[in-house]
Amino acid sequence: MTPLDPPNPPLTRKDFTSDQEVRWCPGCGDYAILAAVQRMLPELGVRRENTVFISGIGCSSRFPYYMNTYGFHTIHGRAPAVATGLKLANPQLDVWLITGDGDGLSIGGNHLIHVLRRNLNLQIILFNNRIYGLTKGQYSPTSLLGKRSPSSPMGSVDNPIAPAAFALGCGARFVARGVDTDAKNLINTLKRAHEFQGTGFVEVFQNCPVFNDGAFDHFTAKDVAAQQQLHLEHGKPMRFGDGKGLRLRPGSLDIEVVTVGENEVTEADLLVHDETNRSQAFLLANLDPPTFPVAVGVLFCSDENLVPFEVGTHEQNKQARARGLGDLNALMRKGHTWKVDADHGDEAG
Amino acid sequence: MDTFASTNSTSQRELIESVVIRFAGDSGDGMQLTGSQFSDTTALMGNDLSTLPDFPAEIRAPAGTTFGVSGFQVHFAAHDIMTPGDAPDVLVAMNPAALKVNLRDLKPGGLLVVNTGAFTAGNLKKAGYDKNPLDDSSLDGYRLLKIDITKHTLQSVESFGLGNKEAVRAKNMWTLGLMMWMFGRERESTAEWLRGKFAKNPAVADANIAALNAGHVYGETAEMPQGIHAYEVPKAKLQEGHYRNVTGNEATAWGLLAGGKLAGLELMLGSYPITPASTILHYLSNLRAYGITTFQAEDEIAAVCAAIGASYAGALGITTTSGPGLALKTEAIGLAVTTELPLIIVDVQRGGPSTGLPTKTEQSDLLFAIYGRNGDCPLVVLAASTPGDCFTMAIEAVRLATKYMTPVILLTDGFLANSAEPWKIPDISSFEPFPVKQRTDPVGFHPFLRDPQTLARNWAIPGTPGLEHRIGGLEKSYDSGNISYDPDNHHKMVKVRAAKVAGVAEDVPLQAIDQGEDSGDLLVVGWGSTFGAISSAVLGARKAGLKVSHAHIRYMHPMPKNLGEVLRRFKHVLVPEMNNGMLVKILRSDFLIDARGLNKIAGQPFKIAEIEAEIRGLLASS
């Protein structure tokens, strides 16, 4: 993909804001994510006409209506498939796929698997609020066990899925996490996803103030965030909170929390984040409070350079068309054909 | 070629006008191949022909069983023919199961060729025979030619050093050689085909060619029983031109490419393998040099959604499927209807409901194609009537989808998909191009601005500066394209989408009478692959002096605007369909006429005689 020249003069956040009234509930985490994206795009130097937001169904999937770019609000769960066709038809487009925990992991789980393993060059932002919002509060595939909701009045017995671990299992090559209200880190993470040549998958913990308020407070609230979040940086030791860190429990493949300076633990014992290590990313994707901090930032960024699906497809097209577009008239006359002349017709008649 | 020089000696051949041969054997016996090679050669020799492949859904059903029997029927003639023939004149049965399944169709007194080598106790038992039918009088009503084809084949390939399994496999070529002798067919094109197919294994190619020749020599030299000899079917009178055999799926693939060229658009096929549509995906995947990108999606829904995404991006999205796949795609098709994007859905109909009869033909998706979506959700539905017509109707699908910004469903069926007929190869340059203009002008733009004539919205594609916009499945304001929940606006939008599709009727040919007068006692109305059978039946009835005509509908929705008028000029209307009564229901409800149905839901095409009998019965009782 040849990068287009950045717009001149540079665009502002306002240029990416559509004239449509935003209709999310007051206090919804979606507002913060929308603002972060609208702030980030001018910094990326991308063009509005080349940018497409594609979504499925759900609260988060209203997102494209609020972006002054191209946008397609499709049907429930199918945004990855629509985006795949869009990229195949025009690989030059810069595509952002907006989905949620229900849209992406329940009804659209199959398509999410395949867009991730095919490594199409696009970005996926999965808004995870652990609840169905637009249908009024039923439990979702990321709702925790015991979650009481209109469809699980006695508490959910439906074992939840971890989106980042799911993505890694699908063969995703870029997996990251952010928090709706942490704009600075979210923007940096989204930029990394955009830079990645392949599918950039970003799970955003997003608060639903109406049906699942405070679902992530135990690690996102101001007073606990530092203690309960591990901000990953490639090549840096995994430190969080007051002198705490992560290390591999000696003789195992398990991670444990340690305190530097206690029990002879030194900085050198801590795990160093290697974002190109898929196994380590798996461990990080499955860390849960209260025992562990929640890992945010870039969990995994493959250095294997798998050719994105649409790029590979177009390379084949190019190969097939090396001698120009085929002549259909000639094609239909290849192989076993025969001619009937006028004489023969008369003769047989 | 010298080696084949004696093939056409006609000195002792009996001249016949037409013949129907059915090759039948185990699904691993290579009967489809035998039949298609025989057909290709027959076409090259100037006969008109029509074929009916009939195979089980299992790839290799247990050998010797009746449900594993695969058949290929070919009808060829010295005159114009339109069906694969009601009943075979010749049945080639490679084993007892093939005999058991097919004998009931063979004409009384017909020629029955059997491979006695396969009539072992074990095979007889598997086929359900208590005793060997070759040994009693049960086949007395037929001209029986008993040959140990297995033994002769093994002898003919002995010198090539093949393993027993491979050697026995050549028996279909031996049989083909024998039938080519009997009907005076050239062997060279089959030999050439074998050399190509086994290019990497010349010994296998040579052995198969040897078997082919040996079967032929057997015919020439062996003493045949009384009443069995060689025939000649003279060339048919075909219109001047360049011909080839074509199946419906091939013609569909080429028609889509031709449509893309005429529209000036790149095509994008999203498809998921399903019988009997898969070969369209195969053909097009091989033809990417001709302006198409192909994508095998993870499921039927993804296939259509990717096509929709491609259309949104400015290519023409296509998806190919069969009944169960169409069911899965319905929600997405609704999205394409409401976002008013062009989209082609090819439905190669098969026996239903549910998984139904995957390899058998049926016309039972008509009501589903026209009405089967949530909401008021109109789109254009077309139906091809012959294998060659699939080409023309695929072009029509592209033309209408792009001109009216609408999904178009093209209905074909399993019979059309696999059946071959000689086809006068069209010249693409003789078709009127219909170049598509996508919007670039930002002045006054909104995504649902409509052409006042066609009511089509303007097609604005990502990448175009100044036309950034959002579309989706929610209802849109008529005036701006933005989301609207306004009651009057929704009413207006439902009406305008319906009016747009209804307006297509102004842009399609008037309904013609395909055969007969434009008024009379009876009009037989058909659609789809029943064309040949209805046409032949009407011809027969007219020869007997009956006042019958035939009209075949290709534009199923909207229908040609003169159709009601055409129907009302006849006292009776008969609608033969391979379903439980679908077109007849539409004609009755749309035109308030007392149309009657003739329904065959057997997974098999109509026989001419079945329709002709109904015509005679209906006119006799009226």
Residue A317 lies in a domain: no
CA distance B483 to chain A (A): 9
Report, in this order, helix, strand and coil percent for chain A, each rounded to 5: 35, 20, 45
Between CA B394 and CA B386 the distance in angstroms is: 12
Cα R_g (chain B), whole angstroms:
27
Contact list, A113 vs chain B (CB under 8 Å)? 298
DSSP B289: G
- The bridge status of strand B555-557 relative to strand B380-383 is antiparallel
Report CB contact under 8 Å: B254, A81.
Answer: no
The CATH number assigned to the domain holding A301 equals 3.40.50.970
Between CA B4 and CA A314 the distance in angstroms is: 47
Between CA B249 and CA B325 the distance in angstroms is: 17
For A65, the closest chain B residue by CA position comes to B470
Q: Are residues A43 and A188 in the same domain?
A: yes
Q: Please, are residues A229 and A216 in contact by the beta-carbon 8 Å criterion? A: no
Between CA A80 and CA A167 the distance in angstroms is: 13
Q: Which residues, other chains included, contact B335 with Cβ-Cβ below 8 Å and sequence gap of 6+?
A: A74, A75, B308, B473
DSSP E strands, chain A: 51-55, 70-73, 94-100, 123-128, 174-179, 200-205, 229-231, 239-240, 244-248, 255-259, 294-301, 337-340
Q: Which residues, other chains included, contact B437 with Cβ-Cβ below 8 Å and sequence gap of 6+?
A: none
Pair of tokens at residue B134 = 């070759």
Per the structure, the complete domain to which residue A242 belongs is given by 237-272
Task: Give the tens place of pLDDT for each residue, A115-168.
Answer: 999 999 999 999 999 999 999 999 999 999 999 999 999 999 999 999 999 999
For B427, the closest chain A residue by CA position comes to A329
Confidence (pLDDT) at B593: 97
Between CA A113 and CA A108 the distance in angstroms is: 9
Confidence (pLDDT) at A349: 26
For A347, the closest chain B residue by CA position comes to B237
Between CA B48 and CA B547 the distance in angstroms is: 28
Sign of torsion, CA A73 A78 A79 A83? Answer: negative
Q: Are residues A120 and A39 in the same domain?
A: yes
Please state the φ and ψ torsions of residue B472, each to the nearest 5 degrees: 180, -175
The H or E element spanning position B178 is helix B171-182
Contact list, A54 vs chain B (CB under 8 Å)? 309
CA distance A333 to chain B (A): 7
Between CA B270 and CA B277 the distance in angstroms is: 13
Confidence (pLDDT) at A343: 58
Q: How would DSSP label each residue in B560-606? A: PTTHHHHHHTEEEEEEEESSSSSHHHHHHHHH----EEEE--SSSPP
**CA atoms lying within 13 Å on the CB side of residue B281:** 21
CB neighbours (10 Å) of residue B456? 18
Task: Give the tens place of pLDDT for each residue, A210-253.
Answer: 999 999 999 999 999 999 999 999 999 999 999 999 999 999 99
Q: Are residues A52 and A175 in the same domain?
A: yes
Pair of tokens at residue A59 = 């609260």
Residue A174 lies in a domain: yes
Question: Residue A3's pLDDT band (boundaries 50, 70, 90)?
Answer: low
Query: What percentage of chain A has pLDDT greater than the value 70?
Result: 97
Q: Please, are residues B109 and B86 in contact by the beta-carbon 8 Å criterion? A: no
Residue A87 lies in a domain: yes
Q: Are residues A246 and A297 in the same domain?
A: no
Q: Which of A272, A295, A328 is the last residue of a domain?
A: A272
Please state the φ and ψ torsions of residue A222, each to the nearest 5 degrees: -50, -40
CB neighbours (10 Å) of residue B330? 15
Between CA A257 and CA A246 the distance in angstroms is: 5
Q: Are residues A103 and A187 in the same domain?
A: yes
- The residue behind tokens 């009379």 is B520
Between CA B23 and CA B585 the distance in angstroms is: 38
Task: Give the tens place of pLDDT for each residue, A243-300.
Answer: 999 999 999 999 999 999 999 999 999 999 999 999 999 999 999 999 999 999 999 9
Q: Are residues A251 and A285 in the same domain?
A: no
For B307, the closest chain A residue by CA position comes to A85
Between CA A267 and CA A254 the distance in angstroms is: 18
**Which residues of chain B fall below pLDDT 70?**
1-11
CA-based nearest residue to B360, from B56, B28, B36: B56
- B385 vs B189, B574, B611, CA distance in Å? 29, 17, 17
The H or E element spanning position B318 is strand B316-321
User: So what's the ipTM on this one?
Assistant: 0.97
- The residue behind tokens 């439990």 is A139
* A:B CB pairs within 8 Å: 218
- B81 vs A109, A123, B45, B517, CA distance in Å? 51, 57, 15, 21
CA distance A117 to chain B (A): 11
Amino acid letter, residue A71: G
Report CB contact under 8 Å: B313, A89.
Answer: yes
Give me the residue from A71, A82, A313 closest to B293, CB to CB: A313
Between CA B487 and CA B620 the distance in angstroms is: 56
Q: Please, are residues B379 and B333 in contact by the beta-carbon 8 Å criterion? A: yes
**CA atoms lying within 13 Å on the CB side of residue B570:** 29
Between CA B4 and CA A88 the distance in angstroms is: 51
- Substitution target in B261, B312, B429, B438 with the highest count of A β-carbons within 10 Å is B312
CA distance A107 to chain B (A): 12
Give me the residue from B239, B289, B334 closest to A340, CB to CB: B239
Partners of residue B294 on adjacent β-strands: B269
Between CA A90 and CA B613 the distance in angstroms is: 56
Between CA A300 and CA B244 the distance in angstroms is: 56
**CA atoms lying within 13 Å on the CB side of residue A155:** 4
- Note the residue count of chain B: 622
CB neighbours (10 Å) of residue B328? 17
Between CA B381 and CA B345 the distance in angstroms is: 9
Amino acid letter, residue B156: S
Q: Are residues A169 and A266 in the same domain?
A: no
CA distance B190 to chain A (A): 11
- The residue behind tokens 């030619």 is B145
Contact list, B78 vs chain A (CB under 8 Å)? 348
Pair of tokens at residue B401 = 């989808």
Q: How would DSSP label each residue in B400-437? A: HHHHHT-EEEEEEEHHHHH-EEEEEPPPGGGSPP----
- The residue behind tokens 């592209």 is B398
Pair of tokens at residue A349 = 């008649």
CA-based nearest residue to B385, from B411, B423, B349, B420: B411
CA-based nearest residue to B379, from B427, B415, B330: B330
For chain A, the domain total comes to: 2
DSSP B499: H
Partners of residue B349 on adjacent β-strands: B413
Q: Are residues A135 and A48 in the same domain?
A: yes
Burial of B226 from C-beta contacts in 10 A (0-12 / 13-18 / 19+): exposed
Residue A343 lies in a domain: no
Q: Are residues A87 and A182 in the same domain?
A: yes
Query: Three-class SS of residue B134?
Result: coil
- The bridge status of strand B143-147 relative to strand B111-115 is parallel
Q: Are residues A291 and A267 in the same domain?
A: no
Residue A139 lies in a domain: yes
Q: Please, are residues B270 and A85 in contact by the beta-carbon 8 Å criterion? A: yes
Between CA A309 and CA A89 the distance in angstroms is: 12
Question: Residue A348's pLDDT band (boundaries 50, 70, 90)?
Answer: very low
- The residue behind tokens 């060729």 is B113
Average pLDDT, chain A: 95
Residue A100 lies in a domain: yes
CA-based nearest residue to B453, from B506, B377, B493: B506
Between CA A133 and CA A62 the distance in angstroms is: 12
Contact list, B245 vs chain A (CB under 8 Å)? 336
Q: Are residues A298 and A267 in the same domain?
A: no
Residue A324 lies in a domain: no
Between CA B291 and CA A11 the distance in angstroms is: 36
Q: Are residues A268 and A190 in the same domain?
A: no
Residue A26 lies in a domain: yes
